[in-house]
Structure 1
Amino acid sequence: MSVILSVARNALRHLLRSRIALTGVVLVALLTLAAAVTSRAYQADQAGLRDRLQHAADQDFAAQPNRHPHRVVHFGHFAIRPASGLAAMDPGVEAYTGNMIFLEGHRQNSANFGDARQSSLLVRFGQLSPALVLQAIAPLLLVFIGAGMVAGERERGTLRQSLLAGVSGGTLLGGKALALGVAGLIISAPAFGLLLWLGVNGGARASAVALSALGYVAYLAFWTLLIVAVSAMVQRSRTALIALVGAWAFSVVLVPRLAPEVATGLTPLPTRVETDIAVQRDLRAMGDSHNPNDPYFAAFKQKMLKQYGVSRVEDLPVNYRGLLAIEGEKLTSSLFDRYADQAFGAMAAQGRVMDALAVVSPTIAIRRLSMTLAETDLSAYRRFLEQAETYRYDLVQRLNRLQATAVTAEDDAAKSKSAAAEARSRISADHWRSMPHFTPDRPSVGEVTGRALPSLIVLLLWLAAGAFLAARAGRRLNRSAA
C-alpha cells in the first residue's frame, strides 16, 4: 500500500507541475461549484414560486362568488408540481415537461410552462447542472490529464526503470489511478457538497443522496480505471488520447444522442394531433347526452328512473342534468385515461430500449440513476399527471353532484329564460371554499430505490469491467518488463 501511495504522490506532483492539467482541474472544479450554486439558487426560487402560484390558484378558486356549479366546473383550477429535493443536482426532464396543469371539466390537459418553452434557445441545450458537469465534462478532463500518465512514462523511458526496480504493473496502475481519482474528487467536490447540503437542509432523502453519490463515484471511478488502463496498453500518449477521446465521444455524446432515435423507431409514439383526432372520434361514438334518442343515454335515463322508482324525469328527487354531467364526466375521463395509459406505455417501452443501451454507454446508466433518485424522471412526471387527474376528476364530480342535489331541475331548465330561476340556480360559495386542495404525495423510498437499483447495478458492472481492464493492463506491464 505504501508503494501505491508513493506512486500516487509522484503522479500528483507531476500533475501540479503541469500548468495545463492544474488549470483544467481548477477551472472544471470552479465550473462544478458555479453549477451547484446557480442550480440550487434557481431551484429554490422555483420552489418558492410554485408554492406561491398554487396558493394563489387555491385563493382564486375559493374567491368565486355564488354561482351555478357547472360554471365552477368550467372556471377550472390549477395543479402545480412541487419542486423535488434533488432537482438542484439533476433537473432531469422538468425543463421540457412543464410543471403546471389547468384542470377543467370534460378535458384532460397536459402540463405547460416548461422552462425550455419559455426561456431562451440556450435552455433547450440543457441547463448547467452539477449532474451535467459530472456526466460529460469531468470525464473529458480526466481523459486529457490522464491519457499520458503511463504512456508518457513509457515515452520518457522511466516506465521500464520503475518496473525493473520491483514495482509491479498493478501497483503502478493503482497509484496512477489513485492520483487521477484525487483529481476527479477535487472536480466533483462541489457537487458532492451540494448533495450533502440537500440531504441535510434541502428536503432530499438520505437514501437518495447516498445512492446518487455512490453512482457518481462508480461512474468517475470507471473512467479513471479506463484511462489508466488504455494509457498503459498503448505506446504513445497521443494514441491514448485519441482512443480515449473517441471512447468519450461514443459513450457521452453519440450513444445518448442516438438512443432516443432508436427508441422512437422501435416504439413510435402517436403525435398529439393523431391522439386528439382519435379521442374526438371515440367521444362521438360514446353518445350524445343532448340527444334523447341516443342509445347509451336513453338506456342511462331508464336506469335512473328505475333506480329512483319513478316514471318521468320530472319526478326524480334530484336534478337529472346533474346526473347526466356525472355520467358524462365518468365516460370521458375513462377515455382520456385509456389514451394516457397508452401514451405512457409507449414511453415506458422507449425507456426500456434506452436502458438496454446502457450496456454500451455508462452515461445512459448514470443519467437514469441520477434522474430517478432526483425524482425528475418520466416516472415522476407521470405520477404528477396521474395525481392531478385524480384530483381533477374528484373536484369535477363533487361539483356535478352539487348540480344534481343543490340545484332544482326546474331552475336549471329555466335559468336561461328567467332571471329569478338563474338567481336561484346559484348556490353558496361556501361549497367551493370547502373543496380539498391539491396535495400530491411523493413516491415511497422503496419505490424510488427499486427503480434506481437496475441502473446502479449496471454502473457497478461497468466499474468491474474497468477494474478488469486495468488488472489486465497491469499484468501486461509485468510481462513487458520480464
Structure 2
Amino acid sequence: MNILLRIAREEWRYLFRDRAAVLSLALLTLLTLLAALNAYEHQRNANAQRAHYQARANQEFEAQPDRHPHRVVHYGHFLFRPLNSLAAFDPGIDGYTGNSLYLEGHRQNSANFGDVRQHSLLLRFGQLTPAFVLQVLAPLLLVFFGHAIVARERESGTMRILLAQGLRSRQLVMGKFLALAGFAGLALAPALLGLAWLAAAGQASWSMALLLAAGYAGWLLLWTTIVVLASTLAARGRDALLVLLTAWAVTVIMMPRWAPDVANTAVALPTRFEDNINVQRDYLALGDSHNPNDPKFAAFREKLLARYGVSRVEDLPVNYKGLVGMEGERQSSALFNRYADESFGRQERQNAVVDAFGWLSPTLALRRLSMTAAGTDLSAYRSFLEQGERYRYDLVQGLNRLQVDEVRYADDTNPNKENRVSSTHWKAFPEFRYAGPQTGETLRRAAPAALVLLLWLVVLGGLTWAMAGRLGRSVR
C-alpha cells in the first residue's frame, strides 16, 4: 500500500503542477456550486410560488357562497405539485411535465404548465444542475487530464526503468488509478457537501441523499477505470485521448438522445389529441349523467327502485338525480383511469426500452438512478396525478352525495326552484396533501440501474486488473 500511495502522491504532484488541470478543477468546482445554488434557488422559489397558489385556490374554493352542489362540481379546484428538495440536484423530467392540475367533475385532466413551455427552448438542451455537471462535464475533465496517466510512462521510457527496479506493473497502474480517483473525488466533493447539507437540514432524507452520493461516486469511479484502462492499453497518450473522447461522445451525448427515439419507434404513444378523441367517444357512450331520464341509466334506475321497494323515482327517499350523477361519475372515472393506465403503461414500456440501453451506455443507468432518488422520474409524476385523481373523485362524489341528501328530487327537477345548500359543507372538505414516494419503493425502483452501474464497474475493473498484469510483459 505504501508503494501505491507513493505513486499516487507523485502523480498528484504532476497533476497539480499542470496549471490547466488545477484551473479546470477549480472551474468545475465553481460551476458545480453555481449550478447547485441556482437550482436550489429555482426549486425554493417554485415551491414557494406553488404553495402560495395552492393556498389561494383552497381559499377561493372554500369562499364559494351557498349554491347547488353540482355548481361546485363544475366550479372546480386546482392542485399544485410540490417539488422534492432533491429536484435541485436533478430535476429529471419535471421541466417537461406539468405542475398544476385542474379538478372538475366528468373529466380527468393532465398536469399543465411545464417549465419547458414557459421558458426558453434552451431548457430542452439541459439545465445547469449538479447532475448535469457530474454526468457530462466531470468525465470529460477526467479524460483530458488522465488519458496519458499510464501511457506517458511508456512514451517517456520511465516505465521500463521502474519495472527494472522491481516495481510490479499492477502496482504502477493501481497507484495511477488511486491518484485519478482522488482527482475525481475533488470534482465530486461540492455535490456531496450539497447533498449532506440538504439531508442535515431535514429537507431531504439521508437514504436518498446517500443513494445519490453512491450513484455519482460509482459513476466517476467508473470513468476513472475507463480512463486508466484506455491509457494502459494505448501505445501513446494521444491514442488514448482519441478513444476516450469517442467513448464519451457516444455514451454520454449520443446514446442518451438516440435511445428515446428507438423507444418511440418500438412503442408507439398516441398523441394527446388522439387520446382525447377516443376518451370523448367512449365517454359519450356511457350516457348523460346530467339527464336522469337517459336510457343508458335505465338498468341502474330499475335496480335502485327494486332496492328501495318503490315504483317511481319520485318516491325514493333520496334524490335520484344526485344518484345518477354519482353513478355517472363512477363510470366515467373508471373509463378515465383505464385510459390513463394504458398511457402510463406505454410510457413504462418505452422506459424499459431505454433502460435496456444502459447495458451499452452506463449514462442511462445513472440517469435512471439519479431521477429515481431525486423523486423526479415518471413514477413520481404518475403518483402525483393518481393522488390528484383520487382527491378529485372523492371531492366530486362528496358533492354529489350532498345533492343526494340535501336537495329534494322534486325541487331539483323544478327549473324555477333555487336549490342552494350551505357553504359550510365545502369548507369541511379536507385539503389535498401530496405524499412523496416511500423509501423502500424508491430503492426497489433504483436497484436495476444500480446493478447495471455495478456490473459495468466490476467488468471494467477486472479488465483493468488483467491488462495491468500484462503491461509488464509487453514493455519487456
| TM-score above 0.5, yes or no | yes
- Report matched runs for 1:37-436 at 5 Å: 37-289=37-289, 294-415=294-415, 418=416, 421-422=417-418, 425-436=419-430
Quickly say closer, same or farther: Cα 1:36–1:290, change in 2 above 3 A: closer
Cα deviation per residue 1:163-211 (whole Å; 9 max; x = unaligned)? 2222222111111111111221111111111111111114211111112
Quickly say closer, same or farther: Cα 1:291–1:107, change in 2 above 3 A: closer
The percentage of aligned residue pairs carrying the same residue is: 53
1:292, CA displacement in angstroms?
Answer: 7.1
Cα deviation per residue 1:60-118 (whole Å; 9 max; x = unaligned)? 11111111111111111111112213111111111111211001111100011111111
Q: Give RMSD over aligned pairs.
A: 1.4
Cα deviation per residue 1:107-151 (whole Å; 9 max; x = unaligned)? 100011111111122222221111111111100111011011111
Asked whether the equivalents of residues 223 and 466 of structure 1 are also in contact (C-alpha less than 8 Å), the reply is: no
Match of 2:435 among 438, 441, 446: 441
TM-score, normalising length from structure 1? 0.96
Counterparts of 1:88 and 1:104, CA distance in 2: 32
Cα deviation per residue 1:206-235 (whole Å; 9 max; x = unaligned)? 111112111111111010011011111111
Question: What is the one-letter code of the residue matched to 1:16?
Answer: F
Are 1:24 and 2:18 counterparts?
Answer: no
More divergent stretch after superposition (289-298 vs 205-214): 289-298
Give the match's secondary structure for 1:287. coil
Quickly say closer, same or farther: Cα 1:292–1:38, change in 2 above 3 A: closer
More divergent stretch after superposition (195-204 vs 136-145): 195-204
Asked whether the equivalents of residues 73 and 399 of structure 1 are also in contact (C-alpha less than 8 Å), the reply is: yes
Question: What is the one-letter code of the residue matched to 2:455?
Answer: L
Counterparts of 1:133 and 1:406, CA distance in 2: 59
Is there any run of 5+ residues in structure 1 with no aligned partner, and where? none
1:326, CA displacement in angstroms?
Answer: 0.5
Asked whether the equivalents of residues 305 and 316 of structure 1 are also in contact (C-alpha less than 8 Å), the reply is: yes
Alignment partner, residue 463 of structure 2: 469
Give the match's secondary structure for 1:30. helix
Counterparts of 1:57 and 1:182, CA distance in 2: 51
Counterparts of 2:413 and 2:252, CA distance in 1: 65
More divergent stretch after superposition (56-65 vs 43-52): 43-52
Question: What is the one-letter code of the residue matched to 2:37?
Answer: V
Counterparts of 1:292 and 1:33, CA distance in 2: 63
Question: What is the one-letter code of the residue matched to 2:428?
Answer: S
Counterparts of 1:388 and 1:440, CA distance in 2: 8
Question: What is the one-letter code of the residue matched to 2:40?
Answer: R
1:289, CA displacement in angstroms?
Answer: 4.1
Question: What is the one-letter code of the residue matched to 1:56?
Answer: R
Asked whether the equivalents of residues 292 and 324 of structure 2 are also in contact (C-alpha less than 8 Å), the reply is: no
Counterparts of 2:293 and 2:26, CA distance in 1: 77
Question: What is the one-letter code of the residue matched to 1:53?
Answer: Y
Cα deviation per residue 1:422-461 (whole Å; 9 max; x = unaligned)? 1xx1111100100011112122211111111111111111
Task: Name the count of aligned residue pairs.
Answer: 476
Give the match's secondary structure for 2:435. coil
Give the match's secondary structure for 1:101. strand
Are 1:455 and 2:446 counterparts?
Answer: no
Counterparts of 1:101 and 1:161, CA distance in 2: 70
Counterparts of 1:135 and 1:4, CA distance in 2: 28
1:398, CA displacement in angstroms?
Answer: 0.3
Counterparts of 1:29 and 1:465, CA distance in 2: 30
Cα deviation per residue 1:234-256 (whole Å; 9 max; x = unaligned)? 11111100100011111101111
Asked whether the equivalents of residues 290 and 325 of structure 2 are also in contact (C-alpha less than 8 Å), the reply is: no
1:290, CA displacement in angstroms?
Answer: 5.9
Are 1:478 and 2:472 counterparts?
Answer: yes
Cα deviation per residue 1:308-335 (whole Å; 9 max; x = unaligned)? 2211122122222111111111111110
1:468, CA displacement in angstroms?
Answer: 1.4
Question: What is the one-letter code of the residue matched to 1:436?
Answer: P
1:474, CA displacement in angstroms?
Answer: 0.7
Give the match's secondary structure for 1:102. strand
Asked whether the equivalents of residues 96 and 116 of structure 1 are also in contact (C-alpha less than 8 Å), the reply is: yes
Counterparts of 2:68 and 2:16, CA distance in 1: 75
Give the match's secondary structure for 1:67. coil
Counterparts of 1:230 and 1:149, CA distance in 2: 10
Give the match's secondary structure for 1:79. strand
Question: What is the one-letter code of the residue matched to 1:446?
Answer: G
Counterparts of 2:459 and 2:103, CA distance in 1: 50
Cα deviation per residue 1:385-422 (whole Å; 9 max; x = unaligned)? 0000000000000001111111122222224xx2xx21
Give the match's secondary structure for 1:110. coil
Counterparts of 1:453 and 1:289, CA distance in 2: 46
Counterparts of 2:262 and 2:192, CA distance in 1: 33
More divergent stretch after superposition (130-139 vs 161-170): 161-170
Cα deviation per residue 1:2-48 (whole Å; 9 max; x = unaligned)? 11111111111111111222221111111111111111122122222
Question: What is the one-letter code of the residue matched to 1:269?
Answer: L
Asked whether the equivalents of residues 387 and 440 of structure 1 are also in contact (C-alpha less than 8 Å), the reply is: yes
